[in-house]
Structure formats: structure tokens, C-alpha cells
Amino acid sequence: MTTARVLGLAICLASVPAFALEQGETRINGFGTVGVTHLGGEDDGRAYGISGQTNDSWRGDQLSKFGAQLSYGITDTVGITLQSTAKAYGDEWKPNLEWAYLSWQSTDNLMLRFGRLRTPVYMYSESIDVGFAYPWLRLPDEVYSQVQLSNYEGADVVYNLPLSFATASFQLAGGQARNRDYYIYDEKFDIDYDKVFGASVSLSTNDFGTLRIGYAEADIKTDIAGSVTSILPPPFGPGVGVAQEVALLQLDKDKGKFTSIGYQYDNGTWLTANEWTSRVIENDNTASTDSFYLMGGRRFGDFLAHVTYAQLDEDEGRQSSWTLGLNYNILPTVVLKGEYKRVDTNGGYDGVFVRGAQELYENTVNQRTGLAGTPARNYDGDIISAGVDFVF
């Protein structure tokens, strides 16, 4: 299989189809990642990542995932697409139905889709599970940890406008996502997204890469609380050693807004991918969360060397990282990837490191009293990852 055909397969798995299948035509593809990762530098059993799967043990559940996609042409203009994955959250593997939609190719350039769809949040939202479609083994956490919602139930419309030097694509999406899992403070909670709205525009040029601008918003409802052991005596608290439930975050249909700007370029030898995002949640008592990454790489035959700088800023402080990666094309459909990532935080900020409810409570008490509890500290670590991405 040639490189061009493999890239076409990855795009088919990872993006909105450019055309409908013919009536009765069936297409079945698969993809996956087998990888391990390890966190060094934090000596207290600290975990890293959305659900804390990266720690001081060599673990495969942070990176490994498997998926399959089925597309069938009901007519020459109407089709059905199903995409399922199996991957781990926390310590539990489970199947996920990521895509399940009907599509109608009303014209050569206009497509409407109805059902379960990917949320158009990031530049790599459509390909977030297809590791073969991007250079990293793990997408930059500083950006891709910000929104955990990967799909919704609703509809979207995609219009492609051919130009002499490029193709302009426009997407509008709307729907809802109920009873989704949300991982924070080393626990899993339920979260609802109502009135999901997304819009994006991208310009894919013939010679100068692709620029994408996206916006998404939703009304968010969740009630996040944690069980802690009090360290405050009366009248400042219920008493030392007394178990209590503390509210950590409560949102009642508060608006969340997410903006992203991305650019990628690949001429076969040199490549770059860059993305900036900003997240705002009304009534969560914080300012915007801003993040970005800058990646550059070069191919040497079957090898690809790349370097990425990423940064995440919140009220509490900053997380920054450098990632060095080296990829090798074992086969046209199989890529071996290795990465080293150095992560640092400042300002007493946990960043993407996992801080439990008890630690957060004691840090908050210390910040308010200066006497009890423990002061918030900075985190740092060295993350080594190795694995294989494949498509078929």
C-alpha cells in the first residue's frame, strides 16, 4: 500500500467524508495504538493525565486503544457510519460508540449528518482516537485535557467551497450530551451538556498548509464534591478527624465557551502543527484557561524527528513542557513512536497532575489560614512514552 493511500485511509477514519459511498457499498476499517508510558521525577506516587493513568509504573492503558469504523451506502447520497472504540478511563476498560450517524450528501459540496457525532472542539477532534493521523504518541496534554467531551447527539452541516488555491470548509453543529463521565480530583462524576453549539471554518491550501478556527459552547450542569477528613477544630470546622463532604464545583446550566485556532503544514519533509485555545466557564469563579502548543518536525526517509513546546495558564499558575519525539515507519500502515516529555508547573499549580480532594482541601485551608493544612506546591516530571500506531 502506498503512502498516499495510507494517508487517505487515515483521513477517511479521522475526518468528515468528502463524498458519499455508492448504494450498497460497504467500507470497514480499523485503527489502534499499543503503547506504554511512565512518569519519573515525582516520588510520592503522583499521577498525571485526565484520569491519572500515567504514574511511576509502566502502564499501557493511558495510550492503548483500538477502534473500528463501518460505513455503508444506503443510496448514492444517503449513508450510515458507525465508529466504536475500546479504551481505558482510570483503571477500567470499556467500549465506546463514538460515531453513529446518518449522512445525506445533498450536493457535491454539502453534507448533512444526524446522530452521534464528534464535537468540533479541537483541530484534531475528528481524529483524536486515530493516532496514525498525527505525529505524537500522546496529544499535547496542555491543550487536549481542557474539554473531555468527545461526542454529542444532534446534527451538523458541512459545506466545502473549492477555490483555485484551496478548499474552504464550513461546519455548524448543534445538539446535547447527557450523562457523560467527567474526571477530576482523581474521581469520576456525571456531567450534562445542553444546547451544544459548534462552528468551525478551515482553509486547506494547496501549498501553504491548513488554517482552522473553531468555537464551541454548551450549558453545563454538574455537582462535584469530595469526601475529606477535617483538620479544623470548632468553631472553624466540624472537628479534627471528622469526615465531611465538601463542594468542589457546582454548575447549573452555566455557559462554557471554547475557542481554538490551529494551523498545520506538511510538505512531505518539513511539518508543523500549532494550536491555541481559550476556555471560559461562567460562574466557576475563575478567569479564562488559555493554552497552546508549537510543534516542528522533519522527516529523514522513514524517520520523523519532532519537538513540541506546550503551555497551560490558569489563575493558579502555569504548566509548561517540552516534548522530543522520534517516529519510524515500520510499514506504510504501522508507525513506531517514542517520546520524552519534560513537564513543570509553577505558582503552586497542579496543571494536568492529579490532586485529590483531601490534598486540595488541605491546600485551601493553608491558603486561607496560613496555619493549618499544607501549602500548595509545584510539580514536575519526566514522561517517557513508546508505542505503535496502525491503521488497516
Residue 14 pLDDT level (bands cut at 50, 70, 90): low
230 neighbors 244 (Cβ within 8 angstroms): yes
Task: Reply yes or no on whether the pLDDT at 8 is more than 90.
Answer: no
Q: What is the grid cell recorded at 37? A: 508510558
Over residues 316-330, mean pLDDT: 97
Task: Reply yes or no on whether the pLDDT at 1 is more than 70.
Answer: no
Cis omega (within 30 of 0) for bond into 235: yes
268 neighbors 299 (Cβ within 8 angstroms): yes
The neighbour count for residue 143, using CB atoms within 10 Å, is 23
Q: What does R_g of the chain's alpha carbons equal in angstroms?
A: 22
Report which of 118, 87, 112, 86 is spatially closest to residue 100, judged by C-alpha positions: 118
pLDDT per residue as tens digits for the range 31-74: 999 999 999 987 677 899 988 899 999 999 999 999 999 999 99
**What is the DSSP track for 20-43?**
PPPTT-EEEEEEEEEEEEEEES--
Provide the pLDDT for residue 10. Answer: 55
Q: Which domain holds residue 58?
A: 3-391
> Which comes out higher in pLDDT, residue 126 or 291?
291
Percent of the chain beyond pLDDT 70? 95
Over residues 94-113, mean pLDDT: 94
Average pLDDT over all residues of the chain: 91
Match 503551555 to its residue by C-alpha cell: 311
Measured in degrees and rounded to the nearest 5, phi and psi for residue 374 equal -125, 140
Provide the pLDDT for residue 13. Answer: 59
Task: Reply yes or no on whether the pLDDT at 302 is more than 80.
Answer: yes
Report which of 35, 133, 34, 19 is spatially closest to residue 76, judged by C-alpha positions: 19
Q: How far apart are CA 113 and CA 104, in angstroms?
A: 6
> Which comes out higher in pLDDT, residue 16 or 227?
227
Over residues 379-391, mean pLDDT: 96
**What is the DSSP track for 147-167?**
----EEEEEEEEEEEE-SSEE
Task: Reply yes or no on whether the pLDDT at 19 is more than 60.
Answer: no
Provide the pLDDT for residue 356. Answer: 87
Supply the CATH number for residue 287's domain. 2.40.160.10
311 neighbors 320 (Cβ within 8 angstroms): yes
340 neighbors 38 (Cβ within 8 angstroms): no
Q: Which of 10-14, 33-37, 82-86, 91-95 has the lowest mean pLDDT?
A: 10-14
Number of domains in the chain: 1
Q: Which of 15-19, 69-73, 186-190, 228-232 has the lowest mean pLDDT?
A: 15-19
Provide the pLDDT for residue 72. Answer: 95
Geometric angle at alpha carbon 349, from 256 and 35, rounded to 5°: 80
Provide the pLDDT for residue 248. Answer: 85
Over residues 85-107, mean pLDDT: 91
- The structure's pTM equals 0.92
pLDDT per residue as tens digits for the range 214-265: 999 999 999 998 899 988 888 888 888 888 888 888 899 999 999 999 999 9
Query: What single letter denotes the amino acid at residue 249?
Result: L
> Which comes out higher in pLDDT, residue 1 or 174?
174
